[in-house]
Every structure is written in structure tokens, then in C-alpha cells.
Amino acid sequence: MTIDNQQYQVQGVPLLDIASEYGTPVYVYDGQKILDQVATLQNAFSSVNLKIKYATKALSNINILKLMKKAGTGVDAVSIEEVKLCLHVGYEPSEIMFTPNCVAFEEIQEAVDLGVMINIDNIPMLEHFGTYYGNSVPLCIRLNPHILAGGNAKISVGHIDSKFGISILQLKHVLKIVEVHNLKVAGLHVHTGSDILDAEVFLKGAEILFDAAKEFKDLQFLDFGGGFKVGYKEGDITTDMVEVGRKVSAAFKEFCKNYGRELEIWFEPGKFLVSECGYLLVNANVVKSTPASTFIGVDSGLNHLIRPMMYDAYHGVENISRVTGPDRVYTIVGYICETDTIAADRKLKEVKEGDVLAIKNAGAYGFSMASNYNSRLRPAEVLVLDGKAHLIRARESFEDILRHQIDIGL
Ligand code: LLP
């Protein structure tokens, strides 16, 4: 987002024009920013055989998936529905990794039938897989590395108390099952968490993967998960992709030399690729002063962007209706019947009723975590590409609220 000619713009398209054409609330994505992020990651790992598996769950509009495909990424899917979405937009099964957690074995079978790589995250499932498929279907095994890292407890998933993955301490058990069923283990995977700043955490994960990998003879890839930290506020320190790329690539090359074969290195970023590309544009419905603060009540809330309430996440906010004028301090809240504070005590250009605010970092886990709570409609989505705004999802209508409800005639 830039300010040009006294207007907030994305690729030369004024955001206020998008708000007036498509209404608010509306999610806007800068396609160029996504392509730039993909390129940054590709460049950071240019000396190794990198495969990016975009974490579909972060933002799963079919046009975003198609853009990723054009940019040369594969995908990581966590539900059979995400697998089907990826196939729908033209991904080859071989480009899709299925990383489910706590699903029924039938869902895994369905994914096998669709031809995608399965990432197994618990021992009972590994047993079922072995019994059912033996060595006829290659698979990946998700290990829990017992590393505590990540932006907050809810998104730290690689520690010993986490439900995800097979404990690295259970490796012997895994090896036994692999041997008994003669399993074809093509990959090993770790994902430590989200909002991980430090290259050392990725290196620690790498060491654990390398150690485990020595026990498997036919590996084709090692998957380091996602979790790179992006900037949310000005001055935020973010994952230094050049440093992570340099350090992890060096360690990976050394490992491959000892392993005797060049493997692929996989990453599954969500936020890194799509967080910063997104803006949620909302209308200031009410400017309400109390003895304690001045609230701006907007036409959105935890139903559209749950991250501030669920993770205490910080999202930058701008009043895009005004580029000049005095600053005032506001608390921005939603219209949901809950305390849905989007941002507290923020300095904005003085807000008048009807102004449009842009909530930043809304690309990842924004629309994809939206709901119809309070029987509200989910927003429209717009993708800006090559200097042109495209509506990529229509705003929901009241009929959508009634859809699938069955009136039993009471
Ligand atoms: N791979 C696996 C196995 C994952 O579970 C996740 C995220 C990712 C990759 C991508 O992580 P990322 O690069 O986006 O950090 N809704 C939360 C984040 C939850 C992430 C869940 N898993 C948030 O909005 O902060």
C-alpha cells in the first residue's frame, strides 16, 4: 500500500475506489506482493532443490491458488476439501501434500485415491496405512521435534505437549512399523509453529530431521514446515530469509552429501506468502467517545478477522479516507455482540463517520477463518493484479444465511 496523489493505493488502484465499487467490508489482496514473496523465498534457497508447498489454509480463494501455481509453488492441504480445491484449480496430485491432523482413516484413503502425498501424523494412522497399503504407496511422516517456538501458545505446535506429529522419542516404534510393513517413506516433516523469528529454530528443526533421516534409506525430500515471521507493526523484526536460506541450505547440503543423494527441501509457508498482501477495508459506522476512550465501531469484527481476539495479534490500521489532518487516538472495535477489539489505542488521522479504515496483514488467516457469527455475511474479496482490481468472491447475501437450514414446519 502506497500513498500517491493523496490516495492510498495498491498497484496504482485507489483503495477507496475498491471500497466504493464493491462496498465494505471487503478483503483486498495485492497479487504482486504475493509474487514478490514467492520470489524472495525462491532466491533465498536457490542453491538447493527447493519446493514451496503453500499452506492453503492461510488463504484459499481459487484465484490465489492459481496465482501460486503460476508462480511455481506446490501446496500443502490440511483437509480433503483443500486437496479437492487444489486439484480443482489444476494442481497435479504430485504437487499436493496432504497434512491432516486427527482425521478418520477414510479421509486419508480418499486422498490416496486422488494420488496426493500423505503426511502421517500419528502412530495408529501409520499402522493403518501400513496394513492397508504396505509398500504400494509412498508416504511422509510428520515428526514432533519437541521444540517450543512460535508467536504464542496457540500457534506453537512442535513442543512435547502438542497434539501434532509423532514424537521424535517414538522414532524406534516408527521404524518398527516401517520395517514390518516395508513402508516406502519418501519424506520426513517437522513444523514447529507460526511467527518464528529465529534462524536457529529452523536449524534446530533441521538437526532433528537430519538425525531421524539417517534411519530411512529411500527419502526424496525433507519438509521443514512453515512459520516464518512477517512484520505486523512498523519496526517489527521479521525472519531474515536470506540468513535462514544461507544457514539452512548449508546444513542441508552437508546432510545430502553424507546421505549420498541430493534430496528436495520443502517449506510450507502461509503467512510469509500472503499475510502482508491483504487489507480488510471496513467502514467507520460510529465514532463513540466515553469517559475512558474513543471507540470507532466498524462494519466488521471477529466474524471476519478473528486474529486479534484469538491470538492477541497486532494488525496495523490506517484511516484511508484521510491522508492529512490531525491525529487522534482510537480503539477500533467490531459490530459483533462480543468484545471484539480489533486494535486498541491507535493513532489515526481524525476519523469521521463513513471513513474507510484499512486493517493490514489481513491476507493470512483472515477470510479463511471468517464465519457467519451473529448471522452476518462474509465479505467480498478483491485481487489486484497488473494494476487492475478483480472481484474474486462475491459478498454473501441473506440467502446464504438460510442456505442449508431446513425448516421443519414448526
Ligand atoms: N505447515 C503446517 C503443518 C501448519 O500447521 C501450518 C500452520 C503451516 C505450515 C503454515 O504456517 P505459517 O507459515 O502460516 O505460519 N491461524 C493462526 C496460524 C495457525 C497456523 C496453523 N498451521 C494465525 O492466524 O496466526
Which atom of ligand 1 is nearest to 275's Cα? 14
Beta carbon of 82 within 6 Å of any ligand 1 atom: no
Beta carbon of 58 within 6 Å of any ligand 1 atom: yes
The CATH superfamily holding the domain 2-23+278-362+364-402 is Lyase, Ornithine Decarboxylase; Chain A, domain 1 (2.40.37.10)
What spatial distance separates the first Cα and last Cα of the chain, rounded to whole Å? 52
Beta carbon of 272 within 6 Å of any ligand 1 atom: yes
Beta carbon of 311 within 6 Å of any ligand 1 atom: yes
Q: Determine the residue type at 107.
A: E
pTM: 0.97
Successive 10-residue mean pLDDT values, the chain, 410 residues: 94 98 98 98 97 98 98 98 98 98 97 98 97 98 88 81 91 98 97 86 92 95 94 90 94 96 97 98 98 97 97 97 97 97 98 98 98 98 98 98 98
The tens digit of pLDDT for each residue in 240-257 reads: 899 999 999 999 999 999
Beta carbon of 365 within 6 Å of any ligand 1 atom: yes
Start and end residues for every CATH 2.40.37.10 domain found in the chain:
2-23+278-362+364-402
Taking CA 398 as the corner, what is the angle to CA 308 and CA 368, rounded to the nearest 5 degrees?
35
Residue 282: how many CB atoms within 10 A of its CB? 30
| Pairwise CA distance, residues 150 & 145, whole Å | 13
Cα dist. 307→114, 137, 230, 245 in Å? Answer: 33, 38, 14, 28
Q: How far is the CA of 228 from the centre of ligand 1 (A)?
A: 9
Does a cis peptide bond (omega within 30 degrees of 0) precede residue 25? yes
Q: How far is the CA of 193 from the centre of ligand 1 (A)?
A: 7
What pLDDT, on a 0 to 100 scale, did the predictor assign at position 250? 96
Beta carbon of 133 within 6 Å of any ligand 1 atom: no
Q: How far is the CA of 239 from the centre of ligand 1 (A)?
A: 15
Q: How far is the CA of 91 from the centre of ligand 1 (A)?
A: 21
The answer to whether 102 is a known catalytic residue is no
What pLDDT, on a 0 to 100 scale, did the predictor assign at position 117? 98
Q: How many helices (H) and strands (E) does the chain have?
A: 12, 21
Start and end residues for every CATH 3.20.20.10 domain found in the chain:
31-273
For ligand 1, atom 24, name the residue with the nearest CA.
365
What pLDDT, on a 0 to 100 scale, did the predictor assign at position 363? 98
Query: Which parts of 182-316 fold into alpha helices (H)?
Result: 199-213, 241-259, 271-274, 307-311
Q: Which of 82, 103, 120, 194 to mutate to test the pocket of ligand 1 (most atoms within 8 A of CB)?
A: 194
What's the topology of domain 31-273?
TIM Barrel (3.20.20)
Question: Residue positions in the annotated binding site?
Answer: 227, 307, 311, 338, 365
What pLDDT, on a 0 to 100 scale, did the predictor assign at position 199? 83
What pLDDT, on a 0 to 100 scale, did the predictor assign at position 192? 87
Beta carbon of 191 within 6 Å of any ligand 1 atom: yes
Q: Strands, E, within 253-387: which ranges? A: 264-267, 278-289, 294-298, 317-319, 327-333, 341-349, 356-359, 380-385
Which atom of ligand 1 is nearest to 272's Cα? 13
What pLDDT, on a 0 to 100 scale, did the predictor assign at position 244? 92
Question: Residue positions in the annotated binding site for substrate?
Answer: 307, 311, 338, 365
Average pLDDT value for the chain = 96
